Structure 1
């Protein structure tokens, strides 16, 4: 049966791609891993690979056209097979298929019963795809199957453990049914979006086709290539859609949403039943919640940050409450600044500010804690001070999302942790509301689990600002690169005794250098300088952390 070839997400920020060139033509034999098309993304030109064996039976998006991530750009099937019942195997205008999308449940002419390649999963039910478990993940390794073929599976059940580029995570089932054929064995790799197993829906017999989803056709699609055609018989893959559609709910009104998406929606006061899902089978995933928040679908707060009077003290919120970030459109001046800065330095235009901090009082706090058998490090004090300073400098607690600036109502600080394969930044949530001992315990726990690759995505994604400390390596001063989507990072050097002038006299003090890297599109030098002044004051007088 025909399997759609979807426009993949080839970069964390990619929303759509342009077909530059087809590397295969209709009728060509395709093997899994073959490059079939060259796609222009928002970052570079990359090749799209086939996830299955078969023949290219239809090209849905011709060269030069644009398709949204998740929409079908072509179809793969058996030799001589037609992509849809009654549709010609040669490329046909997408408009001709629009009436089909209006009534996906009807199947007037089944496709030819030509034998499909064994790897295509025809008639095996719903494909369980290798999910994208981190923004930089392109493939994953099946470490262990938690279910075996023939086991009953419920929506939300963990079915496999996957090793990503950052940690080991569990893959969940999106629907109820029975685990059919496992296509990727333990120890093998699979690219993001490739089927790793097939699920036989509840009530269906093994080997029969999965019931087709009942998507609603968009009222007026902007581009033919982005419209979702009716699901191919066999139900192997339900194409992802970014067009408005019915909220994601399964049989019996059950909502399909990932645990992370549910938690994010609950924390930010968002009615997840109104969010359009773009995950497998219309499941609501993290990016859908973020998009909904960016569109202002969350409950409006009593007072937007912009309405606060200048110079008014920041509101103190109760522990456990996490207001959603407020999306504020970029002003014309801010857009021009962003464009000018991007011309100077492509990507994220950095600026750097450095200050020296006297750490005698902070070191004394650490020594007092040690005398009381409390494990508090200098870095824990820095994280706490960075969080309090961020709360007192709300203009720093922002990030750029498209043409909007997100103003965060929470203070979440990342800590850079070196691991065997590189670097990861676990996030201390609500660091401004936690005591030094709580920050210390959480930092040590997450750093230990980071080295074991056991962190969950929610524990290292997001954050307001990152603290990168190389002082333990004897580094006096360095410059750190911002960790997107954050807008700032502070690079902390070693605490060392230096000769300084105090009251006209030479004195020896424990000094430390802090360098701020800021995103000049949303933060200005004066804003960063005010933040560093606040941070310096808190570290030099750490008793202020209590007030």
Structure 2
């Protein structure tokens, strides 16, 4: 009796996924709910668990190809169906019959076999790399994809280092230079699709303003001492949601010859992940306190990074913010999401000289850039909207008390 492991649908529009990394090898004994592999969809990377207990037979090793929803990638058997070989080193993992051709000799003349994930083996084959030269960093010295990529990068760096003994490097340029073709992941394809849609359908206008946030920094420090923690991004979401109550045309979408104005104010925010970005949503942000927003935003970030984000938490955003402040960026122009009409780019808070009357003071400055669809709103209204947000950031306590 064998139980199939199937690629299941994680979202309404999901048609396929990519297996990023197997955490078990062919023939391993797995328990129910043990993590088998990580899979990347067009929105997020999730971990797939075993549906039952038994011995696994991996049938699908398409680590760089899209696997359709519904396809079987493995079977869980009640009894082992593979020849299993004991290794002299008791701490070493059990090896399957598929590894028989990988036997090499160590320095002591004893036999051992290379333990590597299917994706790592595929990368090695494609780049003509001998796995015996790579030190695995996973459990029991298992070689995984990042180990192969690190080895390949190191080899490329060595190849690209100029040869001091060669007076004419140009003669060897063709032999030295190497390139790698990298297939687009579902997430990257989704990002490309969103950017292309935005570029082809939205006419963007960017307005930037720098605001002094001394009182916001002070209020945050005071509330932190009282056990209430929030970040500048939390307060920006809080302020934006309240400002959208007044400037509802920015909580909208342009559609053919009409404007769809959303009644709910759902603020999505960008979370950077490996090779992409995820946009979780705080629904009805205008009805939540600064503390509720701070708690929810923190939890959403943890869910994204732990691959536990729910489908609902990624849907129905009506306005977006994107922050590069932690990278020391002053200001930038993010891309407007196709189903929205505006987004705000948040820079870093920087301590800088500020002219106050005839005096020079030291203050905290923050730059905000609003990018909006010119078909929906004009520059003057965009300036008023941005000024409304900045005014709330300048007087944070009043903003909290009046909301």
TM-score normalized with structure 2 length? 0.55
In structure 2, what is the equivalent of residue 7 of structure 1?
none
CA shift, 1:453, in A, is 2.3
Question: 1:508/1:170 Cα in 2 relative to 1: closer, same or farther (>3 Å)?
Answer: closer
Residue 508 of structure 1 deviates from its aligned partner by 2.2
Q: Which residue is equivalent to 2:71?
A: 196
Work out the CA distance in 2 between the residues paired with 1:139 and 1:377.
Answer: 34
Question: Would you say 1:167 and 2:21 are equivalent positions?
Answer: no
Which is helix-richer, 1 or 2? 2
| Structure 2 CA distance for aligned equivalents of residues 421 and 466 of structure 1 | 20
TM-superposed CA distance for 1:191, in Å, is 5.1
In the alignment, does 2:241 pair up with 1:400? no
Q: How much does 1:360 deviate?
A: 0.7
Question: Are residues 350 and 455 of structure 1, via their aligned partners in 2, closer, same or farther at CA, if it must alter by over 3 Å?
Answer: same
Q: Does 1:374 align with 2:228?
A: yes
- Counterpart contact for 2:15–2:69, Cα < 8 Å: no
TM-score, scaled to structure 1: 0.41
| TM alignment of 1:292-307, pairs within 5 A | none
Residue ranges of structure 2 left out of the alignment (5+ in a row): 1-5, 23-36, 49-57, 73-195
CA 346–186 in structure 1, closer or farther in 2 if over 3 Å, else same: closer
Shift of 1:170: 10
Distance across 2 between alignment mates of 1:139 and 1:381: 36
Q: Give a deviation string over 1:436-480, Cα, whole Å, max 9, x none.
A: 111111111111111122212221223121111111111112121
Equivalent residue number for residue 134 of structure 2: none
Q: Deviations over 1:406-448 (max 9, x none)?
A: 2111111111111112111111111111111111111111111
CA contact under 8 A between 1:142 and 1:188: conserved in structure 2? no
Q: Is the 8 A contact 1:351 1:525 kept in 2?
A: yes
Retained in 2: the 8 A contact 1:420–1:451?
no
**Distance apart, 1:185 and its partner CA:** 5.5
Cα displacement (A) at 1:500:
2.3
Contact 1:419 1:451 in 2 (8 A): yes
Sort the Cα spacing of 1:194 and 1:491 in 2 relative to 1 into closer, same or farther, 3 A.
closer
Inter-partner Cα distance in structure 2 for 1:187 and 1:433: 47
Change in 2 beyond 3 A, CA 1:466/1:346 = same
Change in CA separation of 1:386 and 1:168 when aligned onto 2, cut-off 3 Å: same
Q: Identify which of 383, 400, 406 aligns with 2:237.
A: 383
Question: Which residue is 1:465 aligned to?
Answer: 319
Mapped pair 1:133 → 2:8: no
In structure 2, relative to structure 1, the CA distance for the partners of 1:374 and 1:485 (3 Å cut) is same
Secondary structure of the corresponding residue to residue 71 of structure 2: strand
What is the distance in 2 between the residues matched to 1:373 and 1:164? Answer: 38
1:413 aligns with 2:267: yes
Q: Which residue of 2 aligns with 1:478?
A: 332
| 1:539 Cα offset (Å) | 0.4
1:97-116 per-position Cα deviation (integer Å, ceiling 9, x unaligned): xxxxxxxxxxxxxxxxxxxx
Q: Is the 8 A contact 2:211 2:365 kept in 1?
A: yes
How has the CA–CA distance of structure 1 residues 413 and 346 changed in structure 2, closer, same or farther, with 3 Å as cutoff?
same
Kept in 2, the 8 Å contact 1:469–1:491? The answer is yes
Query: Does the alignment pair 1:507 with 2:384?
Result: no
Match of 1:498 among 337, 352, 355: 352
**What is the match of residue 365 of structure 1?**
219
Match of 1:348 in 2: 202
CA distance, structure 2, for counterparts of residue 170 and residue 473 of structure 1: 29
Q: Equivalents in 1 of 2:12, 2:20: separation in Å? A: 15
Query: Is the partner of 2:348 in helix, strand or coil?
Result: coil
**Equivalent position of 1:438 in the other structure:** 292
User: Structure 1 residues 537 and 135 mapped into 2: Cα distance closer, same or farther (>3 Å)?
Assistant: farther
Q: RMSD over aligned Cα, in angstroms?
A: 3.2
Partner of 2:278: 424
